[in-house]
Amino acid sequence: MTARLQTVATPDGPFTLIADADGAVLASGWTPDASLVLARIHPRLRPAELREEPTAAGDAVAAYYEGDLAAIRAVAVRQQGTVLQQAGWAALRDIAPGEPLTYTGFAAALGSPRAVRAAASICARNAPALFVPCHRVLRGDGSLGGFAWGVDVKRSLLARERAGAAAGAPAADVEALPVP
């Protein structure tokens, strides 16, 4: 399979995405190195070739950074995983910008409030970062926790989403969150 590769300049650094022929994002992240993004794709979905070209997903990333936080939600994604992982990735897409959850809250949203490690694993194995917004999940104490593309990027995304959330919508105080 040949997939499309695009790198978009963002305030958080170069954002590289790989999308299949249908435009579904297979993996993405804040790096100019396509091999780092490619490595996050499950072997069953990993393309044999990459072709650099513009994508609708790249346009959605630009729109997100211009303030349209909903733009990324409209982009299709494709990941290979267990039934629980698939359910988790779908649930992550339902977390509203500016309203992050804790890992415990995310586990509860999946119907298993005690499955915090499973919830964290679902986030860690998420390949299409930003489009499946695992950055919206925080530690139980409200601190940022980890993020595959760096805690500084996670903090920036949460601050951007908090600032852009609808007036009166609850949001985390990301500026006050400690770095782990």
Tokens coding 52: 């650099």
Q: Which residues contact 180 (CB under 8 A, 6 or more apart)?
A: 139, 143, 144, 145, 146, 151
Task: Report the chain (180 residues): mean pLDDT per 10 consecutive residues.
Answer: 97 99 98 98 97 98 95 97 95 94 93 91 97 96 92 96 62 40
Which of these is catalytic: 69, 77, 134, 148?
Answer: 134
The confidence score (pLDDT) of residue 128 equals 98
Q: Is 134 a catalytic residue?
A: yes
Instruction: Please determine, looking at this structure, whether the domain spanning 83-165 carries the CATH number 3.20.20.70.
Output: no
Alpha-carbon torsion (67, 73, 77, 83), positive or negative: positive
The confidence score (pLDDT) of residue 169 equals 33
CB atoms within 10 A of CB 46: 16
Q: Report pTM.
A: 0.89
Would you list the domain boundaries of the chain?
2-74, 83-165
The confidence score (pLDDT) of residue 79 equals 98
